[in-house]
Amino acid sequence: MSGQTIRRMYIRRFLGMKRYDRKVAWFIVFGYLGLILGSVALGMHLLSLPLSVLTVAGIVAVTAFIGTRLRGINNIIHECSHATFAELRRDNVAIGRFCTAVLMKSFRKYRQDHLSHHANNGDYERDAEFALIKKFGLHDPVSPRTILRHIFVPLIGRHLPLYTGINLSAEDGRIYQVLKVALLLLMAAFLLINPLAALVFVILPLFYIYPTINFWTDCLDHAGLVGAKDELEASRNVLAPTAVRLLFFPRNDSYHLVHHLFPQIPARHLHLAHEELSRDPIYRRLPSAVRTSDQRSGSQALDVSR
């Protein structure tokens, strides 16, 4: 069984899955931004309270939560790069450009690199996304030692030069360049007015927590599988309970194997596609596809639902 075979078997069943209309799509985008701004306001309130174990725990939780919502915006960009977020292609482009401007990136560059990843998954010579992070050894077999290494890398910031950065170019259009500059000026003003709040609730989430989540997600999706000959073996699903998925895998991005097999499926439906595929005994036996308890022998899938 190959990826091409399973795609031919199921492609017709997954055609026509509904995307968001324009109003709902933009509502979701501004919902994420609203959660971020509301969290910043809550964090500033916590900073104003007397220092205690509870307030410190609350500040840490708010900072981490902001990072997860930035990851959610990143995932919307990912969906827009596949034109699977909004119904109309031009809306996907506009939303993708807006969201990448919020994250100080370029949608054109992101889409170009990401589509090369899908076309050449794990080929360091042609996969533009993975070529940059080859030195982190995602191709090494998974073992306690490599797991510890992947955990340790962000703790010393080794990933930051490749997972952060500001792109102020006008390649997405002059209006998005102006938006990025305006956001930078707002961050600078916030840093002058309230340096502690700006560092804890803007700089830290945007330039450390969110990139760290991206790095660890790349590890979960592909570590030990990079360079596999068939796409069925080159990525994995991460099986998590709903609460964990909503927090740390926003926009259903835990179903990464399903996404690589069927990138035309809107992210909101990936779990449904996984359920449909799981009825097939061949898919249930695939490494990296389903829960270990659902397989008769062997698995590389990650099950964190227990």
pLDDT value of residue 241: 85
- Percentage above 90 pLDDT, the chain: 75
Query: Which range of residues forms the domain containing residue 286?
Result: 1-16+230-296
CA–CA separation, 146 and 161 (whole Å) = 21
Query: Is pLDDT above 60 for 181?
Result: yes
Burial label for 293, CB within 10 Å (0-12, 13-18, 19+), is exposed
- Residue-wise pLDDT for 261-299, tens only, equals 999 999 999 999 999 998 888 788 776 776 543 443 333
Q: Are 46 and 59 in contact (CB under 8 A)?
A: yes
142 belongs to a structural domain:
no
4 belongs to a structural domain:
yes
Average pLDDT over residues 125-149: 93
- Residue-wise pLDDT for 101-118, tens only, equals 999 999 999 999 999 999
208 belongs to a structural domain:
no
Token pair, residue 295, equals 């397989």
DSSP symbol at 205: I
Helix (H) or strand (E) holding 302: strand 302-303
pLDDT value of residue 297: 34
- Residue-wise pLDDT for 25-66, tens only, equals 999 999 999 999 999 999 999 999 999 999 999 999 999 999
pLDDT value of residue 6: 86
Q: How many domains does the chain have?
A: 1
Token pair, residue 269, equals 């439906």
pTM (two decimals): 0.91
By three-state DSSP, how is residue 306 classified? coil
87 belongs to a structural domain:
no
Burial 72-85 (b: 16+ CB within 10 A, else e): bbbbbbbbbbbbbb
8 belongs to a structural domain:
yes
Q: Are 247 and 69 in contact (CB under 8 A)?
A: no
The dihedral region occupied by 113, where left means phi > 0, alpha psi between -120 and 50, and beta the remainder, is alpha
Length of the chain: 306
